[in-house]
Structure 1
């Protein structure tokens, strides 16, 4: 019976791929990967390109996930891509779906899995976890994500500043993921929530790639030229 395997491919550095991830990718007949549009390369495919066994001539299928907040468009996209994925498995092909980070942390896989399980409950599905950017970044900057009884909050975007402030009041560590274009908006919010100027403030973008940028300072030292405008970014703020 053919199998669908989702593989978490880590934050960007191919050396952070697990042995299990490499084995699963090279055992597949078809490798499927997300891309934001037809003209842009798949970031996760670039992570695994060097470990793919070229002699196997595996089929590569790009699934397009448009960058939008339109719920109707998103739901239609999930259904369409889940159908493509399921049909390939039902045709007898072992399929691997590769995703950045871990499959169960803000990943397109979550929606694919939900759709496929609802329509094909008999399908054999397994998941290979991956290293997430949070822990890769913590290792690079030498800052603990949490210690003792500290509370950690993960924010996937900074659009709702009122919610960010409420969460910040009750957190020792704040981790903002994905959209660096909005990081500048949270600085005053964090200060208003009681984070002192001496708090650790660290930004990373394009982790694990040749274009990686990491900046670490205190909250009081932040200026416009220390911020980032890249989508794939991470911001860690730890209360002093």
Structure 2
């Protein structure tokens, strides 16, 4: 009995929002007429941010496409049900020997919905081939916008969601030259309080919706206190102790 052919699942990274940051590899895949698009949405009937990036690039939504619902919750039991339903939907196409392109903002290897989708698909059907297409993460786009190097020579970088908590953020500030805090909206004021207490406000910068027409960059982060910022927002923080040490040695000068 011959083995049934199955399609391939692609995680297609689209960058943070600027269509110009879509890689050539991703753009070529999205021009295929024989593949099925799937993309994440927060609730049924909502628009998908990743899909909008593709549309802004001039790509047409194919006839065969499926929005996959991934709600804004940290409840593992609730999410498990949505992961399973999404994976089963994707597998329906893959078992028809149809390639599936899962559209994702940023890069699919960094805190991406695609990680969970691919893991669940493989758990249900171990023989499925999965390919991740690399992209530009939001923190790289933000660093470029701010003209702020993330790391130079022997400097170290930590990248975490701010939701990991103030305690962890404070510990990491002691150990890394640059700290990238993703999705800062829920804890923004608490983070600002920490940075003020540590004397780090002058060494921090904020970017919201990096790479989109609605992008906002703020060097005076104290002005953000009490504001309702977008979910797609981040803070970049430099370690002043390492910075001052480098300046004393005269090794290099930072823009800040």
Question: TM-score, normalised on structure 1?
Answer: 0.89
Does residue 68 (structure 1) correspond to residue 73 (structure 2)? The answer is yes
* Counterpart contact for 2:16–2:211, Cα < 8 Å: yes
- Where does residue 105 of structure 2 map in the other structure? 100
Structure of higher CA gyration radius? 2
The correspondence of residues 35-74 of structure 1 with structure 2, limited to 5 A, is 35-51=41-57, 54=60, 57-74=62-79
Question: CA–CA distance in 1 between the matches of 2:225 and 2:194?
Answer: 19
- Where does residue 24 of structure 1 map in the other structure? 29
Does residue 110 (structure 1) correspond to residue 95 (structure 2)? The answer is no
Q: Count residues in correspondence.
A: 234
Q: CA deviation at 1:52?
A: 5.9
Question: CA–CA distance in 1 between the matches of 2:56 and 2:196?
Answer: 44
Q: 1:210 pairs with 202, 213, 219, which one?
A: 213
Return closer, same or farther for 1:72/1:142 CA change in 2, 3 Å cut-off. Answer: same
Q: 1:147 pairs with 145, 152, 155, which one?
A: 152
Give ranges in structure 1 of 5+ residues lacking alignment: none
Return closer, same or farther for 1:228/1:235 CA change in 2, 3 Å cut-off. Answer: farther
Q: 1:182 pairs with 187, 208, 223, which one?
A: 187
Return closer, same or farther for 1:146/1:30 CA change in 2, 3 Å cut-off. Answer: same
- Where does residue 230 of structure 1 map in the other structure? 230
Return closer, same or farther for 1:190/1:196 CA change in 2, 3 Å cut-off. Answer: closer
* Counterpart contact for 1:35–1:62, Cα < 8 Å: yes
Does residue 121 (structure 1) correspond to residue 126 (structure 2)? The answer is yes
* Counterpart contact for 2:183–2:231, Cα < 8 Å: yes
Question: CA–CA distance in 1 between the matches of 2:126 and 2:153?
Answer: 41
Return closer, same or farther for 1:117/1:97 CA change in 2, 3 Å cut-off. Answer: same
Question: CA–CA distance in 2 between the matches of 1:145 and 1:15?
Answer: 22
Give ranges in structure 2 of 5+ residues lacking alignment: 241-256
RMSD: 2.1
Question: CA–CA distance in 1 between the matches of 2:162 and 2:27?
Answer: 31
Return closer, same or farther for 1:169/1:50 CA change in 2, 3 Å cut-off. Answer: closer
SS at match of 1:105: coil
C-alpha offsets along residues 14-36 of structure 1, whole Å, 9 cap, x if unaligned?
11000100111122521000000
